[in-house]
Structure 1
Amino acid sequence: MTIGIIGGGILGLTLGYHLSQAGNTVTIVEKEDKLGGLAGYIDMDGITVDKYYHGILTSDNALLQLIDELGISSKLKFKKTKMAFFHKGQTFPMTTIRDFMHFSPLTFIDRCRLGYTVVYSLLIRNWHRLEQVSVKKWLTKLSGYNAYEGIWEPLLKVKFDGDFGKIPATYIWSRVRRMASTYDRKLPKADMAYLVGGTKTLIDGLVRAIKRNGGEIYLKTPVEKVETVHGEIILRTRKGGLRFDKVISTVPIPCFLEFLPPLDGYSQALKKMPYLHLVCLVLKLKEPLSDYYFYHIADDDVPFTTVVETTNLIDPQYLKGYHIVYLPKYVKEGSPFFSMPDHEIYGDFISHLRRMFPDFRESSVEAKVVLREKYVEPVHTIGLEDSVLGISTPIDGLYMANTSQVYPSLVNCESVVAFARRVAEEIG
Structure 2
Amino acid sequence: MARRLDRCRRVRHRHATVMATPRVIVLGGGLSGMAAAYALAQAGWDRVTIVERGPELGGLAGTFETDGHFYPLAYHHILQRDRGLLFFLDRIGALPDVRWRKISMLFQLKGRLFDLADPVDFLRFPMSLADKLRFVRLMLRCFGKSDWADWNERSAAELVDTWGGPEVRRAIFDPLMRLKFNRPCEEVSGAWLGARLHFREGSAPLGYIPGGNWTKVLCDGVTRLLDDASVQVKLGTSARHLGIQDDRVTRVDLDDGESLEADLVISTVPTEVYQQLLTAARPDLDHVRYTAVVSAILATKQRVTPTFYWMNLASLDCTASGMFMLNALNPTIGAPGDTCLNIMTHVPTRHDTFFHQSDDQILAGYRADFHRVFGFELKPFWTQVNRLGMYAPVFHRGYENPPLRDAVLTNVYCAGNYRTFPSIASTGTALASGVDAGAAILADHGGTSDLPAAIDGYRLASMPRG
2:66 to 44, 56, 70: 44
Q: Aligned-pair RMSD on alpha carbons?
A: 2.3
Deviation, 1:202, is: 1.1
Alignment correspondent of 2:347: 331
Residues of 2 paired with 1:59 and 1:123: CA distance?
13
Give the % identical residues: 23
Secondary structure (helix, strand or coil) at the match of 1:120 reads: helix
Question: Which residues of structure 1 form unaligned runs of 5+?
Answer: 184-189
Quickly say closer, same or farther: Cα 1:269–1:204, change in 2 above 3 A. same
1:122 to 120, 136, 143: 143
1:66 aligns with 2:88: yes
Contact 1:3–1:27 at 8 Å: present in 2 too? yes
Deviation, 1:46, is: 3.9
Contact 1:59–1:181 at 8 Å: present in 2 too? no
Runs of 4+, deviation exceeding 6 Å: none
Alignment correspondent of 2:304: 289
Deviation, 1:213, is: 0.7
Quickly say closer, same or farther: Cα 1:402–1:99, change in 2 above 3 A. farther
Q: Normalising to structure 1: TM-score of the pair? A: 0.90
Deviation, 1:296, is: 2.7
- The AA in structure 2 aligned to 1:115 is V
Contact 1:85–1:91 at 8 Å: present in 2 too? yes
Q: Deviations over 1:34-91 (max 9, x none)?
A: 3211111112344221111110023323212211111233542332322222221111
Secondary structure (helix, strand or coil) at the match of 1:362 reads: coil
Quickly say closer, same or farther: Cα 1:91–1:280, change in 2 above 3 A. same
1:404 to 396, 408, 418: 418
Alignment correspondent of 1:271: 286
Q: Normalising to structure 2: TM-score of the pair? A: 0.83
Secondary structure (helix, strand or coil) at the match of 2:187 reads: coil
Alignment correspondent of 1:193: 208
Equivalence map 1:76-155=2 (5 Å): 76-96=98-118, 98=119, 101-155=122-176
Alignment correspondent of 1:416: 430
Q: Deviations over 1:343-386 (max 9, x none)?
A: 1111111111111112x4433x011122111121111223443x
Question: Which residues of structure 2 form unaligned runs of 5+?
Answer: 1-20, 443-466
Contact 2:212–2:332 at 8 Å: present in 1 too? no
Alignment correspondent of 1:260: 278
Residues of 2 paired with 1:269 and 1:223: CA distance?
21
Contact 2:115–2:122 at 8 Å: present in 1 too? no
1:54 to 36, 51, 76: 76
- The AA in structure 1 aligned to 2:117 is T
- The AA in structure 2 aligned to 1:218 is K
1:169 aligns with 2:187: no
Alignment correspondent of 1:240: 258
- The AA in structure 2 aligned to 1:10 is L
Larger radius of gyration: 2
Residues of 2 paired with 1:90 and 1:388: CA distance?
42
1:220 aligns with 2:236: yes
Residues of 2 paired with 1:323 and 1:56: CA distance?
20
Alignment correspondent of 1:362: 378
Residues of 2 paired with 1:377 and 1:305: CA distance?
15
Between Structure 1 and Structure 2, how many residues are aligned? 415
Secondary structure (helix, strand or coil) at the match of 1:329 reads: strand
Q: Deviations over 1:242-276 (max 9, x none)?
A: 123211010100011111232x5xx1221222221
Residues of 1 paired with 2:154 and 2:184: CA distance?
16
Structure 1 window deviating more from structure 2 (407-416 vs 80-89): it is 80-89
Residues of 1 paired with 2:210 and 2:262: CA distance?
34
Quickly say closer, same or farther: Cα 1:53–1:322, change in 2 above 3 A. same
Quickly say closer, same or farther: Cα 1:194–1:182, change in 2 above 3 A. farther
Secondary structure (helix, strand or coil) at the match of 1:390 reads: coil
1:425 aligns with 2:439: yes
Deviation, 1:103, is: 4.0
Contact 2:24–2:262 at 8 Å: present in 1 too? yes
Quickly say closer, same or farther: Cα 1:152–1:182, change in 2 above 3 A. closer
1:202 aligns with 2:218: yes
Q: Deviations over 1:286-337 (max 9, x none)?
A: 2342421111332121232211111111123654542221112111123211
Residues of 2 paired with 1:116 and 1:253: CA distance?
38
Residues of 1 paired with 2:196 and 2:268: CA distance?
24
Deviation, 1:228, is: 4.0
Residues of 2 paired with 1:286 and 1:50: CA distance?
19
Contact 2:187–2:396 at 8 Å: present in 1 too? yes
- The AA in structure 2 aligned to 1:84 is L
2:362 to 345, 348, 354: 345
Contact 1:391–1:401 at 8 Å: present in 2 too? no
Deviation, 1:419, is: 2.1
Residues of 2 paired with 1:141 and 1:409: CA distance?
21
Structure 1 window deviating more from structure 2 (76-85 vs 110-119): it is 76-85
Deviation, 1:7, is: 0.7
1:13 aligns with 2:29: no
